Chains A and B, each alone.
Chain A
Amino acid sequence: KQEVTQIPAALSVPEGENLVLNCSFTDSAIYNLQWFRQDPGKGLTSLLLIQSSQREQTSGRLNASLDKSSGRSTLYIAASQPGDSATYLCAVRDTGNQFYFGTGTSLTVIP
């Protein structure tokens, strides 16, 4: 069974810093991996989706990488801003159309 882990559980950085969030999964037979952000009291917003054949995706200040063989993905946020404060979740979709979410990293960017 697929297990998805995110480290750290919480992260606090000063504004302007670059940071990396980590996601690891136990079964490398994935269909894709998606990064989301969740704001308090809200649903999830999709940030980046990496297909199993891809190694990275970029959107603005965000860059997500995928290393299937080692079961890892990272989300890199450049020049962090207070508006980036949220919980970041990674989710793995397996070939059987099941989704597995990590427990998230709570990010606080201090002005």
Chain B
Amino acid sequence: DTAVSQTPKYLVTQMGNDKSIKCEQNLGHDTMYWYKQDSKKFLKIMFSYNNKELIINETVPNRFSPKSPDKAHLNLHINSLELGDSAVYFCASSRAGGNQPQHFGDGTRLSIL
């Protein structure tokens, strides 16, 4: 009965590959997010998305793209992986409205060889 679940938990792959990370939430939330946490533990938002609006952090390379098949899922697709993409990626969700707390998944640790 995990609220926000991400798969896989660990992902090891080679530079240049294309990979996807899946995220599902069973909280009935309207908004989902992707974050990147680097090796220094600094957390940075990448995207926030609901069925009306996608907000992209301008610093995110266009190799990263969110894909949402339905309200409960927001997958992260990454093309042409680079060494600098190694990080922990967190998915989160919240109810609509700006003052709603976010609920986080446990993260996906991506390692690029």
Contacts and interface: CB of A to CB of B under 8 A. Distances in A.
Contact of A103 (B4, B40, B101): B40
Main secondary structure of the interface of A (DSSP, over half): strand
Interface residues on B, range: 20 to 34
B99 A51 contact: yes
A88 to B, nearest CB: 12
B35 to A, nearest CB: 8
Interface in B45-87: 45, 48, 55, 57
**Which of A32, A41, A44 gathers most chain B CB within 10 Å?**
A44
Contacts of B42: 101, 103
A60 interface: no
Contacts of A98: 45, 55, 57
Nearest to B100: A49
A32 B98 contact: yes
A32 B94 CA distance: 14
30 contacts: A32-B98, A32-B99, A34-B101, A36-B104, A41-B106, A43-B4, A43-B90, A43-B92, A43-B106, A44-B92, A44-B102, A44-B104, A46-B101, A46-B102, A46-B103, A49-B99, A49-B101, A89-B43, A91-B43, A97-B48, A97-B98, A98-B45, A98-B55, A99-B33, A99-B45, A99-B48, A101-B42, A101-B43, A103-B40, A103-B42
